[in-house]
Amino acid sequence: MLDLLAYDFMQRSLLAAAMVGGLCSVIGVFVVLRGLAFVGAGTSHAAFAGVALGYLIGWPPLLLAIVFGLATVWITGWVEERGRMKLDVSIGILYTTTMALGILFIGLMKSYNAEVYGYLFGSVLSVTPEELSIIGVLSVLVLGLLLLFAKELYFIAFDQEMAEASGIPARQIFFLLLTLVALTVVISLKTVGAILVFAMILIPASTAYQLTHSLTALTLYSATIGILTSVAGVLISALWDVPSGPTIVLLATTIFFIAVFFSPKRVKRARLVHSH
């Protein structure tokens, strides 16, 4: 295993996995608390459609992924704000539409393109130095903004109207959160893939949710779980030659079920039932 670590590609993938794991799990806390889980899923498929279009017309795939991702979250947020439609309905429609577009774009390509599929399922072991630096810069940007607006983000997740009433620019903060979700999805596309990025956002935060009643602890636990499972997933994938994305997600899921089983919240409830 130590010989593995000597390879450049291995160091790059571990670094990429750690950054993506940390980023997804931290933003995941706000996504889970604000009830935006489905938005994460919708955005990743929209971003994938952007990637496919990029390869089809020869534009930078990540650029189009950002455009598609941002368009999806902004439309969703706007629709929710207007109260015209429930969030899950609008995102459901956008989700399936962009997925259809993605499949259409792939179908229009004259030849089989393995790289496109890399974005679907993730290929962390093939991260290039340029991609790594893009991931690095964007991760620092997103994490920085999350940290900068952490108190406002917590408040709108708890109760957006109350936040607005007590002097928080709640609508702007909500759109900031949506924008950061879209950016996170795009950053993670190459590493975990469009299908699994959603899991990386959702699972560490939901696991931490089982374990604590405090917001600060929730974020720390989530980040720890996210980073550890990502790094461990990459190592396992390299050692046993299994795909990295699914390995990371299955590791995280395992921890999730362990946490559900040993959750202090669950234990307390069980005790109450027994005491009757």
Partner 1 sequence: MPDPRPPIIRFDQASFGFPGLIALKDISLTIYDGEFIGVIGPNGSGKTTLCRAVLGLLAPVEGHLHIFDCACDELRCYHRAKIGYLPQKGVVDRNFPVTVLETVMMGRYGALGLFTRPGRKDRDIAMEALTQVGMDSYRDNALGQLSGGQQQRVFIARALAQQPKVLILDEPTTGLDITTQHNVIELVQHLHDELKLTVLLITHDINMIRSRVDRLVLLKTRLFAAASPAEVLKPEILHQVYGKELVITDKDLVIVEDYHHHH
- Cα 37 from chain centre: 9
Q: Residue from 162, 239, 242, 270 that binds partner 1 (CB under 8 A)?
A: 162
Question: Taking the complex as a whole, how short is the minimal distance between the CB of residue 178 and partner 1, in angstroms?
Answer: 18
Site size toward partner 1, by CB under 8 A: 28
152 scored as a contact of partner 1 (CB under 8 A): yes
Asked if 23 contacts 135 with a C-beta cutoff of 8 angstroms, the reply is no
164 scored as a contact of partner 1 (CB under 8 A): yes
What phi and psi, each to the nearest 5 degrees, are found at residue 34?
-85, 0
Any long-range contacts for 91-98 (C-beta under 8 Å, 24+ apart)?
Answer: 91/38, 91/39, 91/41, 91/42, 92/38, 92/42, 94/42, 94/46, 95/38, 95/41, 95/42, 95/45, 95/46, 98/42, 98/45, 98/46, 98/48, 98/49, 98/68, 98/72
Listed ranges 15-23, 47-55, 162-170, 181-189: which one lies at the site for partner 1 (CB under 8 A): 162-170
82 scored as a contact of partner 1 (CB under 8 A): no
The two tokens of residue 135 are: 């991931």
220 scored as a contact of partner 1 (CB under 8 A): no
Across the chain, which distance is largest between two alpha carbons, in Å? 68
Closer CB to partner 1, 100 or 151, in the complex: 151
The two tokens of residue 203 are: 């699972």
Closer CB to partner 1, 86 or 268, in the complex: 268
Q: Residue from 96, 128, 133, 214 that binds partner 1 (CB under 8 A)?
A: 214
Q: Residue from 31, 142, 218, 227 that binds partner 1 (CB under 8 A)?
A: 218
Q: Residue from 151, 242, 257, 258 that binds partner 1 (CB under 8 A)?
A: 151
Question: Taking the complex as a whole, how short is the minimal distance between the CB of residue 153 and partner 1, in angstroms?
Answer: 10
Secondary structure of residue 169 in the 3-state scheme:
coil
Residue for token digits 């996995």?
17
Q: Residue from 107, 110, 112, 167 that binds partner 1 (CB under 8 A)?
A: 167
30 scored as a contact of partner 1 (CB under 8 A): no
Q: Which amino acid is at 102?
A: G
H/E element, 223: helix 215-240
Asked if 186 contacts 13 with a C-beta cutoff of 8 angstroms, the reply is no
Closer CB to partner 1, 3 or 161, in the complex: 161
168 scored as a contact of partner 1 (CB under 8 A): yes
Q: Residue from 59, 158, 257, 261 that binds partner 1 (CB under 8 A)?
A: 158
Closest by alpha carbon to 222, among 158, 143, 151?
143
166 scored as a contact of partner 1 (CB under 8 A): yes
Q: Residue from 103, 148, 239, 258 that binds partner 1 (CB under 8 A)?
A: 148
Binding residues for partner 1, rule: CB under 8 A, are 33, 148-149, 151-152, 154-155, 158-159, 161-169, 209, 212-218, 265, 268
